[in-house]
Amino acid sequence: MKFEAFIKSCCGSPGKIILGGHMRRSYRYLALALIALAAPVAAREVRYGQNYKPFTAADLLSVRRIGDPQISPDGRWLAYTIGDTDRAANRRLTQIHIISIDGGNPRQLTSGPISATSPRWSPDGKVIAFVRSADGSPQIWTVDAQSGDLKQVTRIATGADGPVWSPDGKWIAFTSDVYPDCPDEDCNATRLKHADESKVKAKIITRLLYRHWDSWKDGMRTHVLVVPASGGRTRDLTPGDYDAPPFSLGGPDDYAFSPDSKELAFARNTDKLEALSTNGDIFTVPVDGGEPHRLTGDNPANDLSPQYSPDGRYIAYRAQAQQGFESDRWRLMLYDRKTGQTRSLTDELDSWVGSFVFAPTSQTIYLVAEDRGRQPVYEVSTSGGPVKRLVSDSFNDDLKVTPDGKTLVVTRQSLTSPAEVYKVDLVGRAATRITRTNDELIAGFGLKPAEEVSWEGAGGTKVHGFLVKPANFTLNKKWPLLVLIHGGPQGAWEDAWSYRWNAQVFASAGYVVFAPNPRGSTGYGQKFLDEISGDWGGKVYTDIMNGVAEIAGMPYIDKDRIGAAGASFGGYMIDWIEGHNSDPRFQFKALASHDGVFNLTSMYGATEELWFPEWEFKGTPWTNPEIYSRFSPHMYVKNFKTPMLIIHSEKDYRVPVTEGLQLFTALQRQGVDSKLLYFPDENHWVLKPLNSELWYNTVLEWFDGHLKARIE
């Protein structure tokens, strides 16, 4: 749900969690709770004309995952990552590549059986810092951009991640999970060694948020440290019993050096009850030591993602206004270091600000924000004025700008194309492909672009979504319909590639795929998003059902063969549909619920980020029991009769596994055709390639068996 937004690093382009969520997070981001898809299609006997072959889950696993483009200081080169699936090892292996900003043949810079991630150019452009786990623990390394020579920079027991160079090239900042009461590396190493070697694995817990997403806190905190670029002892710049930066599923970095390298800005949440708080603040601290200074204490909601302007005058950051609401609109704020004044630059933009970057002159900021399933690029002046749309088409992210200020570099993707790197001329505004990593693989499938559809939802409100059809689609036959419901609920289906709920894999299996963006979806204005809170089974349900009725009325849809699937909030909605599958216009014949919330009261007592249910259901189960009861799927078990597949994972701490087990028990006791797929080694997402393959194979077999979706 936001119990989930993506995990970006593990699931593809550092784009978002595009279709699922924490049911969200998203940042969307995510985008949102959703799983990498995969599955063989041989048993389905789908016949394709026009020399196209079906795009299967096995093909999805073969797609190379582009991400994290970084421009060299001279503006001539890009470092970026490519992730490949290693089926034998059941993992993904990521390596760093370099390509000219004008395109051409890339050069692989790192290699071997260990992933290399997070490439960051040194200020002189000679080496690239990155993260590598050579001895089981992630550490900061550097690689010579010409020779490929490697050097290990950090050697700390608690590991290192997220390297950021100081502009003078003397320091590298990074994050590490440390024991907050430890004064040095030796203390942390001793504590970790003792914990690993102890035969007693019991945990003593004294406060909430003792576990988070898929891991136990175990008394450790994320801190920002610095290490000399040449290696040596590290220094903790953010000591204390707080996480700095706070946990996030994605978005821009939450720490940055000032242009003179004397100061570090970072985000930290110092509220005592973290399970109820979304109050991150921006701090600054001298790099040579000293006490942090809080810049944003007046705002009770999140302030994250600080960036200094190149001239050092400003710190830009993203902020929300609603305390306890993680899905409030993200605005771009500007703090003037000279006057101490702060102002919003994007009040007129009714959308979430995602990644952003200063122009070299410090007078302009480029940013991305969702809009109806896509993500345009905007520009805004630091002196104020209107937010102007710079690039309207496609789904853009990961903004970078060349040192001469003439070119933007972005990742760009769609429902027919995995992420690739592009450059945008800031004068002519023409976009040019730089990488063509997956062109040959994707070309043979004839994937159909998403079609936009709209209909009237609850109260006559216009609702928007996407249709994806098989490559061999024809109007002269009836097709089964598969409805996908996104997570979040504050997330959205985008015209963007997904390594989880990939609509093209479903379409290639012989389904017309409908992806609605009902109430609660991002990219349609904050009012539209807000209207799901406190109303989970209300307007959003009507929006979805009206959309399905609209699509089911199309002449090429077989309204007797309609199924629906979703994860996280999408799983909740599948559970809700199970107890409310009585629409006179159509009926769902089969359902699939992944990581869905079944019992709102038990969910509250077992999840970790309590701000989420307390916002969404306007209190606790004992202060507002009526709303928990009214919108909890478990209250409608007596109506359960539709065949359902349930999928849940042991390490899902956002929507604990007992939600899926309760649902399966209820279905079995009601005598409903049901199946449970349980993963002991996954979390809110299914991330291991072979587990994903089993996931997809099971989901498609379930719908094939109940909807008989075979193309003759």
Q: Is residue 494 part of a domain?
A: yes
**CA-wise closest residue to 66 among 499, 500, 429:** 499
Report the pLDDT value the prediction gives residue 500, as an integer from 0 to 100: 87
User: Which is catalytic among the residues 223, 652, 674, 692?
Assistant: 652
Report the pLDDT value the prediction gives residue 136, as an integer from 0 to 100: 84
Three-state secondary structure call for residue 230: coil
Our measurement of the distance from residue 14's CA atom to the centroid of its chain's CA atoms, rounded to an integer in Å, reads 8
Domain count along the chain: 1
Name the token pair of 118. Answer: 């997070």
Q: In the predicted model, is pLDDT for residue 709 greater than 80?
A: no
In terms of Cβ atoms closer than 10 Å to its own Cβ (0-12, 13-18, 19+), residue 601 is: middle
pLDDT higher at 44 or 13: 44
Name the token pair of 41. Answer: 């299609």
Kindly report whether the peptide bond that precedes residue 621 is cis, defined as omega within 30 degrees of 0: no
Q: Is residue 538 part of a domain?
A: yes
Dihedral of CA atoms 108, 114, 118, 124 in degrees, nearest 10, equals -60
**CA-wise closest residue to 324 among 297, 299, 358, 352:** 299
Q: In the predicted model, is pLDDT for residue 14 greater than 60?
A: no
Helix (H) or strand (E) holding 600: helix 600-606
Amino acid at 114: I
Report the pLDDT averaged over residues 308-326. 97
Q: Encode pLDDT of 563-597 as tens digits.
A: 999 999 999 999 999 999 999 999 999 999 999 99
User: Which is catalytic among the residues 684, 692, 704, 706?
Assistant: 684
Nearest 5°: CA angle at 571, between 565 and 572?
135
What residues does 171 pair with on adjacent strands? 228
Q: In the predicted model, is pLDDT for residue 28 greater than 50?
A: no
DSSP E strands: which ranges in 522-642? 557-567, 590-594
Q: Is residue 523 part of a domain?
A: yes
Confidence of residue 417 (pLDDT cuts 50, 70, 90): very high
C-alpha to C-alpha distance for 1 and 651, rounded to whole angstroms: 15
Name the token pair of 165. Answer: 């160079």
**3-state SS string for 8-69:** HHHHCCCCCCCCCCCCCCCECECCCCCCCCCCCCHHHCCCCCCCCCCCCHHHHHHCCEEEEE
C-alpha to C-alpha distance for 208 and 474, rounded to whole angstroms: 55
Neighbouring residues of 272: CB distance < 8 A, sequence distance ≥ 6: none
CA distances from 284 to 234, 291, 563 (A): 19, 9, 52
**CA-wise closest residue to 256 among 164, 319, 382, 142:** 164
Q: In the predicted model, is pLDDT for residue 46 greater than 90?
A: no
How many other CB atoms are found less than 10 A from the CB of residue 512? Answer: 25
Q: Mean of the per-residue pLDDT values for the chain?
A: 92
**CA-wise closest residue to 255 among 230, 222, 207, 232:** 222
Name the token pair of 704. Answer: 């094939």
What residues does 177 pair with on adjacent strands? 222
Confidence of residue 499 (pLDDT cuts 50, 70, 90): confident
Distance from first CA to last CA of the chain, Å, rounded?
Answer: 39
Kindly report the CATH number assigned to the domain that includes residue 664: 3.40.50.1820
Q: Encode pLDDT of 451-470 as tens digits.
A: 999 999 999 999 999 999 99
How many other CB atoms are found less than 10 A from the CB of residue 554? Answer: 14
Report the pLDDT averaged over residues 208-236. 95
Q: Are 594 and 571 in contact (CB under 8 A)?
A: yes
Q: Is residue 170 part of a domain?
A: no
Predicted model pTM: 0.93
Name the token pair of 692. Answer: 């994903």
Helix (H) or strand (E) holding 332: strand 331-336
User: Which is catalytic among the residues 568, 632, 674, 692?
Assistant: 568
C-alpha to C-alpha distance for 335 and 341, rounded to whole angstroms: 6
What range does the domain containing 508 cover? 8-57+444-707
Report the pLDDT averaged over residues 643-669. 98
User: In terms of DSSP bridges, do strands 150-152 and 303-308 run parallel, antiparallel, or are they unpaired?
Assistant: unpaired
Q: Is residue 97 part of a domain?
A: no
C-alpha to C-alpha distance for 618 and 541, rounded to whole angstroms: 19
Residue 314: DSSP 8-state: E
Report the pLDDT averaged over residues 100-115. 97
Report the pLDDT averaged over residues 296-306. 96
Confidence of residue 22 (pLDDT cuts 50, 70, 90): very low
C-alpha to C-alpha distance for 340 and 144, rounded to whole angstroms: 41
Q: Is residue 47 part of a domain?
A: yes
Three-state secondary structure call for residue 589: coil
C-alpha to C-alpha distance for 124 and 167, rounded to whole angstroms: 9
Name the token pair of 496. Answer: 């963007």
Confidence of residue 11 (pLDDT cuts 50, 70, 90): very low
Name the token pair of 648. Answer: 């849940």
Q: Is residue 328 part of a domain?
A: no
Report the pLDDT value the prediction gives residue 247, as an integer from 0 to 100: 83
Catalytic site includes residue 223 = no
Confidence of residue 114 (pLDDT cuts 50, 70, 90): very high
**3-state SS string for 250-311:** CCCCCEEECCCCCEEEEEECCCCCHHHCCCCEEEEEECCCCCCEECCCCCCCCEEEEEECCC
Our measurement of the distance from residue 590's CA atom to the centroid of its chain's CA atoms, rounded to an integer in Å, reads 28
Name the token pair of 326. Answer: 């993680």
Q: Is residue 64 part of a domain?
A: no
Q: In the predicted model, is pLDDT for residue 1 greater than 70?
A: no
Catalytic site includes residue 684 = yes
Confidence of residue 9 (pLDDT cuts 50, 70, 90): very low
Report the pLDDT averaged over residues 523-537. 98
**CA-wise closest residue to 508 among 53, 20, 5, 9:** 53
C-alpha to C-alpha distance for 420 and 433, rounded to whole angstroms: 7
Q: In the predicted model, is pLDDT for residue 250 greater than 80?
A: no
Q: Are 153 and 231 in contact (CB under 8 A)?
A: yes
Confidence of residue 50 (pLDDT cuts 50, 70, 90): low
C-alpha to C-alpha distance for 526 and 529, rounded to whole angstroms: 5
**CA-wise closest residue to 353 among 374, 367, 373, 372:** 367
Residue 638: DSSP 8-state: G
pLDDT higher at 38 or 702: 702
C-alpha to C-alpha distance for 579 and 315, rounded to whole angstroms: 50
Report the pLDDT value the prediction gives residue 49, as an integer from 0 to 100: 54
Dihedral of CA atoms 110, 112, 117, 119 in degrees, nearest 10, equals -10
C-alpha to C-alpha distance for 19 and 34, rounded to whole angstroms: 6
